[in-house]
Structure 1
Amino acid sequence: MSSSVEPGRVLLVGAGPGPVDLMTVRAMRAVKEAGALLYDALCSEEAIALAPPGCIRIQTGKRAGKPSMTQGEINRIMLRLARRGLRVVRLKGGDPSIFGRVGEEAAFLNAYGVATEVVPGVTAACAAAAQFGFPLTHRGQARRVVFTTARVQDGAMAHDWRSGADPEATLAVYMGAEAAPDLARALVAAGRTISTPVAVIERAGAADARLTTTSLAALTAGPITTHGGPVLIVVGEVAAAAQAQASNASDGFRERAS
């Protein structure tokens, strides 16, 4: 008699930017039905608490500059748990398809015969735009959005920034706090005007989110000072709306940094 166990499924789930009420209904249901939960450090305690009693909970790390499991370790743990027949949920901050390595994880698991499902989530750029009252696209002002990261290799920006130099493009830069000066200089060198508005949002979507409004010219001065949360940099004319919104905000969670 065979003692093999039918492999479980792995759900690659977006937890959104933090607050549990910004999770989709499908994402919440996935966590509530999880047999094993592998979650990133940026996932909120409220989201993790949705997991049922007896659920295996494993933090994978994945916060910039902090100790984290390697991607290989995460892959092997998901595979091992799925082979035990568990319903595995890989919970990621934001949307798993935006800098969430969802393609790598799905390809690895599928290669071993484990079925996967992707559950989308609200990404930080959308959360920031909603929270601080600016659009990502706007007729006559911004007709495209570029999602990117700012990575520095050997002291130089690793990207070709010509697409971000388009004056009608909104650039949403993830994980860019330390590389902000290099980013600003690269965009100016590519043709973006130094007066282009910039919105810097820390912990987008959270009640304690912080907004700083500035320009590319000012952004060249030095790395952005943070309070430990993830930082999103939005470059483009639409960021000017965040300036106006921030100065008029009175709901208690928006802040214009000095």
Structure 2
Amino acid sequence: MTTATVARASISVRGVSKSFEIPREAPFLALKEASIEVEPGEFLALVGPSGCGKSTLLRMIAGLLKPTEGEIWVGDRQITRPQEDFSIVFQSPRLLPWKTVLENVMLPLALGRGKKVPKAEAKARAQELLELVQLEGFGGRFPSELSGGMQQRVSIARSLVNSANVLLMDEPFGALDAFTRERLNEELLRIWSATGRTIIFVTHDMDEAVFLADRVAVMGKEPGRIVDVVDIPLARPRNAESRTSEEFFGSVRRLRQTLSTGVGVDAGGAGAHRAE
């Protein structure tokens, strides 16, 4: 698990729209004509106000929702159903309270389709991932015995146990305090660097998006849409000092301006936006 597992294919979102039927009302257009390319091993963040379609887009990429219009592809395969090589992490850890930490991490292997993983191998893989998220020694505890941040780290370990190439994260740290959130941001970057997975990360926090991502897709609403894609010039590896750099503050300013105006900003230099 400690050697990089590089995602093998790009993700292509092509003119995707999503409408929801509402009884006795006109259909609600949640997302309109979204297009973006995500490269293998890239860390992409989606930011925008509530109701702009961030989570809807993420669920369509996961295959949990079907687009009303447009297509989503991974490599040469169109996404029409949940993908076995994609994992998703939600804002709530969603751990089973009657199972231990180790059993929760092993759960996808027990429920997975295809080749059955022997129990000893599944246990060893789960233990290695608990070490990766710095929870070695906690495998025998139950979720209620962990802090919120520790529970979310268990959720991340569980999402990695089946060797998924793509990790989809829907505001996974949104319910945590600022200190714990920043610590887990750094932890997530360490895990991403160690595993080489593609990550698509939904957040409403612009500081978090800039700190984590290679690029940030900025979304507007009424209807939901991608209004700009911003390259982040912040050097890697990133740490607490990265949050005090001019590149960091400059990128956050650009995101704020784009969100306030609803149109892309031409930075005219480092970090200039790149629309798809």
TM (norm. structure 1) is: 0.31
Larger Rg over CA atoms:
1
Larger RCO, structures 1/2 (Cα 8 Å, 6+ apart): 2
TM (norm. structure 2) is: 0.30
> Which structure shows the higher helix fraction?
2
